[in-house]
Amino acid sequence: MALLTFLLRRILLGIGVLWIISVAVFAMFFIAPHDPARLLAGKEATPQTVALITHRLGLDKPVLVQYGDFVVRLLHGNLGYSYYNSEPVTQLIASRLPVSASLAIGAAVLWLLIGEAAGVLAAARPRSFADRVVTVLSLFFYSMPPFLLGVLLLYFLFFRLWVSGIHAFPGSGYVPLQSNPLQWARYLFLPWLTIALGSAATYSRLTRSGLLEVLGQDYIRTAHSKGASGQRVLFVHGLRSALTPVVTQCGIDLGVLLGGVVITENIFGLPGLGALAVQSITTQDLPVIIGIVLLSSFFVVAANVVVDLVYTVLDPRVQAR
């Protein structure tokens, strides 16, 4: 019962955050001093054409009425029509979402594997050669801009290998998972690596610092004194308690990634939400921009609710807060 109450409270808080975001998005795009009807009609449109488009968009109604219509459409899953593509925004987003979801989830799995393994290795042997190597590599990849890392991977793992006759990794494109899982992973490996190497640096440092703090606690020394093996103490007692900051960071990162990774998608020619966002900003396609902003916000809020739920598994005391 306590868990259900805790979860319900977090969901209601998330709904409140989404409502505030919807107000901010509406104000930004509909109340700010610009004319969507004039933008849609074009520079050479007559005043009659602009007035007709204004009426059809409902922009001649009072602001509160416009916002009410906006919320009703949102609750029915209607984000309007794209000005540029002349098709429903939900349909556009749905066609791009599998690409961004594939990119985000695959990269998250990879950065967790690399980051956790490196962090545990560094914490198990502090101030050793392995710890110093992990520290140097973490700082190196953390400091490297994603676009530069992506270009380097394209050069060494795509261009140089293809010149040598080794067709291991494609440089661009996307194959749906349901069509061919192996090709899906093959086409996404370099984008996954681009995101994962930079993110894994953060997770390795979080894991190392968290484990070192936990391993100095009294209950860890008690476990050692009772004859528990070093690996059991490290992985069963230590790592579980040190995962809280890792879970927090992963929830935020994954929520943001699901909203679209602009740089990585454009470098590798992936037709995801990030590429759609760039196109929509370039063409000033307001309904699509609004849809992507709201969807990204939903993913971040949902990820934080999931993080709070995972907290209750890692530390039941969280329910009482």
For 121-146, what is the mean pLDDT? Answer: 88
Q: Tell me which residue range forms the domain holding 219.
A: 94-320
Worst-scoring range by mean pLDDT, 55-59, 247-251, 270-274?
Answer: 55-59
Lowest average pLDDT, out of 41-45, 131-135, 297-301, goes to: 41-45
Which is nearest to 82 in space by CA: 289, 274, 271?
Answer: 289
Q: Please enumerate, as own/partner, the contacts of 60-69 that have beta carbons within 8 Å and a separation of 24 or more.
A: 63/30, 63/31, 66/26, 66/30, 67/23, 67/26, 67/30
Indicate whether 106 belongs to any domain: yes
- Domain membership of residue 20 (yes or no) is no
pLDDT of residue 218: 65
In this structure, is residue 9 part of a structural domain? no
> Running DSSP on this structure, what letter comes out for residue 157?
I
Q: Which residue has the higher pLDDT, 184 or 171?
A: 184
Is residue 72 situated within a structural domain?
no
Q: What is the pLDDT of residue 190?
A: 93
Choice between 171 and 260, residue whose per-residue pLDDT is larger: 171
Q: Is 273 exposed, middle or buried (0-12, 13-18, 19+ CB in 10 A)?
A: buried
For the segment 41-55, the average pLDDT, to the nearest whole number, is 76
Domain assignment of residue 45, yes or no:
no
Minimum mean pLDDT range among 139-148, 198-207, 260-269, 309-318: 309-318
**19 pLDDT band (50/70/90 cuts)?**
confident
89-128: per-residue pLDDT in tens?
899 999 999 999 999 999 999 999 999 889 888 888 888 8
Radius of gyration in angstroms for the set of CA atoms belonging to the chain, rounded to a whole number:
24
pLDDT at res. 18: 86
Residue 192 pLDDT level (bands cut at 50, 70, 90): very high
DSSP percent split of the chain into helix, strand, coil, nearest 5: 80, 0, 20
Alpha carbon distance 251, 256 (integer Å): 9
Residue 33, pLDDT score: 58
Q: Which two tokens stand for residue 152?
A: 């380097």
Q: In Å, how far are 66, 74, 151 from 70, measured between CA atoms?
A: 6, 6, 41
Residue 320 has pLDDT above 60, yes or no: no
Residue 16 located in a structural domain: no
Beta partners for 88? Answer: 81
Query: Mean pLDDT in the chain?
Result: 82
Interatomic CA distance for residues 267 and 167, integer angstroms: 19
Q: How does pLDDT run across 266-278, given as a tens digit for each residue? A: 889 899 888 888 8
pLDDT classification of 52: cutoffs 50, 70, 90: confident
Least confident of 42-51, 122-131, 199-208, 243-252: 42-51
Residue 15 lies in a domain: no
pLDDT number for residue 230 = 60
Per-residue pLDDT band at 233 (split at 50, 70, 90): low
Whether the pLDDT of residue 38 is over 80: the answer is no
pLDDT of residue 109: 92
Strand-pairing partners, residue 81, are: 88
Q: Tell me which H or E stretch contains 183.
A: helix 181-215
CA atoms within 13 A on the CB side of 265: 25
- How far apart CA 321 and CA 317 sit, in angstroms, is 7
Whichever domain contains 215, its CATH number is: 1.10.3720.10
Closest by Cα among 108, 124, 172 to 307: 108
Residue 6: predicted pLDDT: 74
Distance between CA atoms of 297 and 291, rounded to whole angstroms?
10
* Domains in the chain, number: 1
- 166, burial (CB in 10 Å: exposed 0-12, middle 13-18, buried 19+): exposed
Instruction: Quote the pLDDT of residue 183.
Output: 93
Can you give the pLDDT at residue 10? 82
- Tell me what percent of the residues of the chain surpass a pLDDT of 90: 18
| Residue 41, domain member (yes or no) | no
User: From its phi and psi, is residue 170 left (phi > 0), alpha (psi between -120 and 50) or beta?
Assistant: beta
Reported as half-sphere exposure (CB side, CA atoms, 13 A), residue 200 has a value of: 27
- Model confidence at 316, in pLDDT bands (50, 70, 90)? low
Output 59 or 111, whichever has higher pLDDT.
111
